[in-house]
């Protein structure tokens, strides 16, 4: 019985995290596509399915203003400036899971 309760709690926590990532991704979808399948403004890489670590590093780099891969780093800085580390992690995991 205990095991079942724990499994349910974990499942609940996981879906909460996923819901958050999905909500946060809404404002990215306009450029990157609903499933992260587009090259944003014809410039960026397709981000769906990229490794979590690369996504996290990129978003943090844009936030810090130190990353500029295709000449549009400042534009991405504006998109992610208000995200905290936990939100960045959720987004990275969500985007990694997109296909």
For residue 19, give both structure tokens. 């819901």
Cα 88 from chain centroid (whole Å):
6
Number of residues near ligand HEC (by CB under 6 A): 26
Q: Which of 20, 33, 60, 79 is in the footprint of ligand HEC by CB under 6 A? A: 79
Q: How far apart are CA 13 and CA 50, in angstroms?
A: 23
For residue 82, give both structure tokens. 């208000």
User: Closest distance between ligand HEC and the C-beta of residue 13, in Å?
Assistant: 22
Contact between 90 and ligand HEC per CB under 6 A:
no
Q: Which of 59, 63, 96, 98 is in the footprint of ligand HEC by CB under 6 A? A: 59
Q: Which of 47, 63, 90, 98 is in the footprint of ligand HEC by CB under 6 A? A: 47
Q: Which of residues 22-41 bind ligand HEC (CB under 6 A)?
A: 27-28, 30-32, 40-41
Contact between 44 and ligand HEC per CB under 6 A:
yes
CA dihedral 65, 69, 72, 78 (to 10 degrees): -30
Furthest C-alpha separation in the chain: 56
């Amino acid at each position: 019985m205990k095991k079942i309760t724990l499994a349910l709690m974990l499942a609940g926590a996981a879906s909460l995290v996923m819901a958050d990532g999905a909500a946060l991704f809404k404002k990215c979808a306009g450029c990157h596509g609903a499933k992260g399948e587009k090259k944003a403004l014809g410039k960026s890489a397709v981000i769906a399915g990229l490794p979590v670590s690369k996504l996290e590093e990129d978003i943090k780099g844009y936030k810090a203003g130190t990353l500029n891969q295709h000449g549009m780093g400042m534009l991405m800085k504006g998109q992610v400036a208000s995200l905290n580390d936990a939100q960045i992690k959720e987004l990275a995991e969500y985007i990694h899971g997109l296909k």
